[in-house]
A = this chain, B = another copy of it.
Amino acid sequence: MPKSSIIDGLGLLAISTRLQRLSEQLRKDGQQIYRSYGIDFEPKWFPVVYSLHVKKTLSVVEIAAEIGYTHPSTISLLKELEREKIISSRKDSSDERKRLIQLTEKGNSLVLEMQPVWDTMTRAIAALTSTPNNLLSAITEVESKLGEKSFLQRAEEIKSGLSPFTGQ
């Protein structure tokens, strides 16, 4: 991944670019780690599969909410997973609009098979992020601040002379 001088120095304004680059880097390596364990699995499938592993049966919109994606994005993930026979779906008999999704037998055994991979990844990421400022905590903290007040709202307040910290 190419390193850049100016942008690194400019920190705050290029933070979105840096977040994206870091995300992409981790996703790509994740892909290769699954491969190195001989497992045919994409990192982007993880949130769906994990949700179904825990909750057993969910509708499309419920999965979208669980994983924090829009439902069209979720639908395309589900299509891939159905093609891979990792999940299966059927209509909800009490509400015909709903499609109920579950892990297949293959999906369930895949989850078991992936335990050591997930363990390895978790350790590697833990090592990577065990720095003075913990990345995962930092993300959680910023997400929580954004939940209170968006970047846009904060900018509007600063523009109109309010403190970005207190909003007064």
Residue of B nearest to A2 (CB): B68
Q: How far is the CB of A132 from chain B (nearest CB, A)?
A: 7
- Set of chain B residues within 8 Å of A72, measured between Cβ atoms: none
A124 touches B26 (CB 8 A): no
- From B2, B54, B136, contact of A15 by CB (8 A): B136
Q: Beyond A1-B68, A122-B9, is A139–B135 a contact (Cβ under 8 Å)?
A: yes
Within 8 A of B (CB), among A39-68: 43-44, 46-47, 50-51, 53-55, 64-68
Known contacts A6-B53, A150-B29: A46-B141 contact under CB 8 Å:
no
Q: For the complex formed by this chain, how many copies does it contain in all?
A: 2
Q: Count contacts on A: residues with CB < 8 A to the other chain.
A: 90
Interface SS of chain A: helix
Contacts of A2 in B (CB 8 A): 64-65, 68-70
Interface set, chain A 108-128, CB cutoff 8 A to B: 112, 115, 118-128
Whether B125 lies near A151 (C-beta < 8 A) is yes
